[in-house]
Amino acid sequence: MRSGKRIKENYQLTNEDIEILKGLRPLMKEHRDQFADEFYALVTSHEEMAQFFPTDEKLAHHKMVLAGWFMRLFNGTYDEEYFRNLNHVGKIHVKINLEGHFVNTAMSKVRQFVIEVIDANIDSSKRENALIAVNKILDINLDVLTSSYRQAELKKYFLSYRLETTLINWMERFTHGLNLVLAIALAVVSIAVVALFIHDVASLFTSDSVETSVVAALGSLLIIWMMIELLDTEVSHLKGKKIPIKLFVGVVIVAFIRKVLIATLQHQDILEYASRVGTLLILGIVYWLVTKADRE
């Protein structure tokens, strides 16, 4: 199932739209019972749909469930749980063999009712924005509900659908577990690097070569910075964000800077030293290009 965040981005459901929907809630609450009555008057007029409500008790129960769904349209809370519930409702529709045509018909009735309420009660200066926000949330609901029908169609054509789904879910969990292990490993290595830095700083007061100790401390400090960036990126990745390519270039740059610092004390061959500086320059250009590409 697609994430709720991605769905909202696809339909451009903004914070302004959400505030408008929340503002409509008191008005829609006044018309909630009227909506449920009109909706089920339509439902029971179709023989194919009326068969799902053989008793008055079942009809009353579904009226209550529908009224709850109707009010959640205007809750302003459209998180992952909201979309999971919608997806669950769609799967139930498929399970009871309700034709997708009737889902679209029902949503058309909902849209018509809400538009009529807005036209009759909302000032003309606010009406257009209210209709835009309502159409977005109804389109989102229709998309998620009908996605279950698309999944059911896929099952007909792909015999290995369940196996593939199981494998994909398992691999996603396994990958997430590996990312957790990597984050823990980075934390352990970071602690070791901090200990190395403390040791290098302490050697400033005990070593005969202060210059060497300073360079070593600077090198350790660069590694700490590198570990902070890696840890921060890994935590962001666990939260669902992408890993920027420039991070890896930055890590290589830090490693080369440390080598160049050490080379200044070892009095290495000038050509070898120049090659490292040249490599560092090229890496800097690559980092700039990658950063520029990310911004664009």
* Beta carbons of 250 and 229 less than 8 angstroms apart: yes
Q: Kindly give, in sequence order, each residue whose CB lies less than 8 Å from that of residue 217, ignoring residues fewer than 6 positions away.
A: 197, 200, 201, 203, 204
pLDDT band at 138 (very low <50, low <70, confident <90, very high): very high
Q: What local confidence, expressed as pLDDT, does residue 20 receive? A: 92
Considering the domain architecture, whether residues 137 and 257 belong to the same structural domain is answered as: no
Q: What local confidence, expressed as pLDDT, does residue 267 receive? A: 63
pLDDT band at 264 (very low <50, low <70, confident <90, very high): low
Could you say which of 135, 157, 179 is where a domain stops?
157
191 vs 46 pLDDT, higher one: 191
Considering the domain architecture, whether residues 250 and 125 belong to the same structural domain is answered as: no
Considering the domain architecture, whether residues 153 and 178 belong to the same structural domain is answered as: no
- Does the pLDDT at position 255 exceed 70? yes
Q: Kindly give, in sequence order, each residue whose CB lies less than 8 Å from that of residue 139, ignoring residues fewer than 6 positions away.
A: 11
What are the angstrom distances between the C-alpha of 125 and each of 20, 128, 129? 13, 7, 8
Q: What local confidence, expressed as pLDDT, does residue 139 receive? A: 92
Question: Both tokens of residue 294?
Answer: 């990310």
Which residue range is the domain that position 266 belongs to?
166-295
Query: What number of residues does the chain have?
Result: 296
Considering the domain architecture, whether residues 107 and 233 belong to the same structural domain is answered as: no
Considering the domain architecture, whether residues 73 and 201 belong to the same structural domain is answered as: no
The mean pLDDT value for 146-173 works out to 69
Could you say which of 105, 139, 157 is where a domain stops?
157
Q: Kindly give, in sequence order, each residue whose CB lies less than 8 Å from that of residue 99, ignoring residues fewer than 6 positions away.
A: 48
Number of other residues whose CB lies within 10 A of the CB of residue 213 = 19
* Beta carbons of 83 and 4 less than 8 angstroms apart: yes
**How many folded domains does the chain comprise?**
2
Rounded distance between C-alpha atoms, residue 92 and residue 73, angstroms: 19
The mean pLDDT value for 257-285 works out to 73
Rounded distance between C-alpha atoms, residue 244 and residue 246, angstroms: 5
Q: Kindly give, in sequence order, each residue whose CB lies less than 8 Å from that of residue 280, ignoring residues fewer than 6 positions away.
A: 253, 256, 257, 260
Backbone angles phi, psi at 109, to 5 degrees: -65, -45
The mean pLDDT value for 4-32 works out to 90
What are the angstrom distances between the C-alpha of 127 and each of 76, 110, 114, 117, 173? 18, 17, 12, 11, 46
- Does the pLDDT at position 254 exceed 90? no
Considering the domain architecture, whether residues 138 and 279 belong to the same structural domain is answered as: no
Considering the domain architecture, whether residues 126 and 179 belong to the same structural domain is answered as: no
Could you say which of 157, 188, 221 is where a domain stops?
157
Considering the domain architecture, whether residues 26 and 112 belong to the same structural domain is answered as: yes
Rounded distance between C-alpha atoms, residue 36 and residue 109, angstroms: 11
pLDDT band at 7 (very low <50, low <70, confident <90, very high): confident
Question: Both tokens of residue 51?
Answer: 């068969």
Q: What local confidence, expressed as pLDDT, does residue 239 receive? A: 74
Axis-axis angle for helices 124-157, 100-121 (nearest 10)? 170
pLDDT band at 30 (very low <50, low <70, confident <90, very high): very high
| CATH code of residue 16 | 1.10.490.10
Considering the domain architecture, whether residues 260 and 200 belong to the same structural domain is answered as: yes
Considering the domain architecture, whether residues 145 and 214 belong to the same structural domain is answered as: no
Q: What is the reported pTM?
A: 0.50
Tokens 């350790």, located at residue:
220
Q: What local confidence, expressed as pLDDT, does residue 158 receive? A: 54
Q: Which of 81-85, 124-128, 292-296 has the lowest mean pLDDT?
A: 292-296
Considering the domain architecture, whether residues 141 and 249 belong to the same structural domain is answered as: no
The mean pLDDT value for 100-115 works out to 86
Number of other residues whose CB lies within 10 A of the CB of residue 46 = 12
* Beta carbons of 22 and 76 less than 8 angstroms apart: yes
- Does the pLDDT at position 136 exceed 90? yes
Rounded distance between C-alpha atoms, residue 98 and residue 86, angstroms: 15
Mean of all residue pLDDT scores within the chain: 80
Considering the domain architecture, whether residues 184 and 93 belong to the same structural domain is answered as: no
pLDDT band at 21 (very low <50, low <70, confident <90, very high): very high
